[in-house]
Chains A and B, each alone.
Chain A
Amino acid sequence: AQSVTQLGSHVSVSEGALVLLRCNYSSSVPPYLFWYVQYPNQGLQLLLKYTSAATLVKGINGFEAEFKKSETSFHLTKPSAHMSDAAEYFCAVSEWGAQKLVFGQGTRLTINP
């Protein structure tokens, strides 16, 4: 069975600082990995995805993530936080494409002015 652990349910950073959201996964097969963002009272929007191509994946809004098989990690980073980045972020894993996604518990990102 697959699983995802997001370290830290709440992360707070200053505007302009580095954003690092941690995601570790467990999978018995090569995983497909996703980061989604959820703004208040909205659905989930894809930030980026890893589908066995390049290990460094660039997404929207300046976010990127690196797939590290040896560490079973897929951490999300952004060099400089913006106030508009305040949201909840979810890491998810699947065995194929976007089917039967297994989500982490989410990380709420707060940006301090």
Chain B
Amino acid sequence: NAGVTQTPKFQVLKTGQSMTLQCAQDMNHEYMSWYRQDPGMGLRLIHYSVGAGITDQGEVPNGYNVSRSTTEDFPLRLLSAAPSQTSVYFCASSSLTENTEAFFGQGTRLTVV
């Protein structure tokens, strides 16, 4: 039972490079989201999706793009990486029902130099 799978686990980028963080879930969840975790700031919502073809911005969307072409996948794209995007990124999924929980991936640790 894989749950939420994120790749890669670690990544080092140079300033200005682009990359895509992958996220896949096998629980048929409608809702998927991306968070970034920074010391002393908890987790902050970047983007989220309530289903294929539907995405919206969270609290800190600048510098990131997302798309949702399938229920299973929700990639996060950094178009031009900046040192301020050095962080740990978590993907999460859940159902759209009331009595549910968010399931988190293992995270991607990204360093931008």
Contacts and interface: CB of A to CB of B under 8 A. Distances in A.
A97 B95 contact: yes
B100 A97 contact: yes
Given A44-B104, A99-B48, A100-B58, A105 B94 contact: no
A106 B42 contact: yes
Contact of A43 (B31, B33, B104): B104
Contacts of B45: 100-102
Contacts of A103: 35, 42-44
A42 interface: yes
Interface residues on A, range: 20 to 34
Nearest to A104: B42
B31 A99 contact: yes
Interface of B: 4, 31, 33, 35, 40-45, 48, 50, 58, 90, 92, 94-102, 104-107
Nearest to B107: A43
A98 interface: yes
Contact of B101 (A43, A46, A104): A46
B44 A9 contact: no
A90 interface: yes
A9 B42 CA distance: 10
Interface string A93-113: 000111111111110000000
Given A97-B97, A100-B45, A100-B48, A105 B104 contact: no
A92 B90 CA distance: 15
Contacts of B41: 105
